Amino acid sequence: MKNPFLSLFSAFFIFFALSFVPGEFFMPLVAVLTLLLAVLLFRFYGNANALAFLLACVACLLVFPLSHSNTLYLQMAMGTIALHFIWKKGDEWWQRGRKLWRRVAEGIGLAIVMVVAGAGFSVILSLLGLNDGAKAVGVVEELPIYLLVASFTLVPVTEELFFRALMVPWLGVFGSAIFFGLTHTSYGSVAEILGAAFLGLILAYYFSRSKDLLPCIIAHAIFNFSSVFIIKMLAG
């Protein structure tokens, strides 16, 4: 499957890894790895893929600042690698034949289910003495505005492409949900990991039944926006 998504994945993933490198080593590594991967992509995947990779690298350098940028790089990497594998199966996960208003309504309904179920799950964690969600709230409060906006615009698209459209067929409903939860360890909160896995289970189950990704993206976006809005309101 020779498409530019593999090149874009390479670019964003390498910048994700390099975002953890000390500043004095960043540019030399960028130069070496960019040239090396561009040559490999040109050799094995053609000039269009090599060009896509080089343009993505330039965009990363010009657009994304290094501070707090690893989240953006990782999100774009997940989205592009998912598209690399599922692009030719678009009709299976996009469900173009279904009426748009019904799909939007299902997304809103799914978001309501997630909010209610998430609140109930938080109560259960509190009763079990596992609700350390304040740690996750503290992390969110310190994020720059562009990452907060990305959380309900970019993130729902890339994560649904990766964890639902790609991972559900590969790992199943429970496996993809567990994987989704484990990717939230950076918050340092057990409640965040368990909560993400629980909400990932709801999204994965819906996708496995409907095979429609749009309602999942809408629900994910609404849930993340609601969470950010509530945290900022309480902090203000």
pLDDT, tens digit (0-9, with 9 covering 90-100), for 68-86:
678 888 999 999 999 999 8
> Any residues with CB less than 8 A from the CB of 230 and at least 6 apart, and which?
none
- Tell me which of 125 and 70 has the higher pLDDT: 125
Q: What's the predicted TM-score (pTM) here?
A: 0.89
Q: Are 150 and 71 in contact (CB under 8 A)?
A: yes
Residues 69, 144: Cα–Cα separation, whole Å? 10
How buried is 88 (Cβ within 10 angstroms: 0-12 exposed, 13-18 middle, 19+ buried)? exposed
Amino acid at 230: I
pLDDT at 108: 97
Q: What percentage of the chain carries pLDDT values higher than 70?
A: 97
pLDDT at 137: 78
pLDDT at 1: 46
